[in-house]
Amino acid sequence: MLDRILSCGRSLVVLTPMVLAMAACYLAKEFYPLSSFPMYSKFDDRTYLAYVKSAEGNPLATVPTFHLVASAELKKAYGNELEKLKKQYKGSHFDWSVEQKRAAGEATLAYLRDTRSPEAFKDDKLAGLQLVDLRIFLVNGKLTTSEEVVAQLPVR
């Protein structure tokens, strides 16, 4: 019986940080996602995503192929490469041409091939892989999209 009481006491000690964090959020009146903080209450009129297609133009699932999530990790890798180009090209990458974004796309595909998932590219399985830049805009209350292939690996 004493062992059970001690075990429960240890469990409560382990949960203490979580309970304190929840109490702090409650006291700070932070109720994500119903938050009054600006980062959660305003959305931009434009955004972008990146995804990959096969040489034939079929979208590829990135989790089983590369072990990464396109909406987070692939977009971040591509976004970092776009950021590097800001010194070379003025203005926002939303206004750049495909040619201006091509270096970022090629660097992103090279990252997938050489660093992130080299095993996925063995035996030229992904020859001709394409990186697609998908732009989403809110225009007059309606969503519009624009899609461009910004880079492609050589087809063998």
148 and 83 within one domain: yes
Q: Model-level pTM greater than 0.85?
A: no
Report the domain count for the chain.
2
Same domain, 26 and 84: no
Return the axis-axis angle of helices 98-111 and 75-84, rounded to nearest 10°: 130
For the segment 49-94, what is each residue's pLDDT rounded down to a tens digit?
A: 999 999 999 999 999 999 999 989 999 999 999 999 998 998 999 9
pLDDT tens digits for range 97-147: 999 999 999 999 999 999 999 999 999 889 999 999 999 999 998 999 999
Cβ contact 132:147 at 8 Å: yes
**Alpha-carbon radius of gyration of the chain:** 23
Q: Do both 20 and 95 map to the same domain?
A: no
Indicate whether 83 and 48 sit together in one domain.
yes
Measured distance CA(3)–CA(64) in Å, rounded: 45
Question: Residues 32-46: what's their mean pLDDT?
Answer: 63
Mean pLDDT of the 21-42 span: 63
User: Same structural domain for residues 55 and 23?
Assistant: no
Check whether residue 59 and residue 79 sit in a common domain: yes
User: Which range marks the domain in which residue 58 is found?
Assistant: 43-152
Residues 33 and 47 in one domain: no
User: Same domain for 6 and 65?
Assistant: no
pLDDT in the model for residue 64:
93
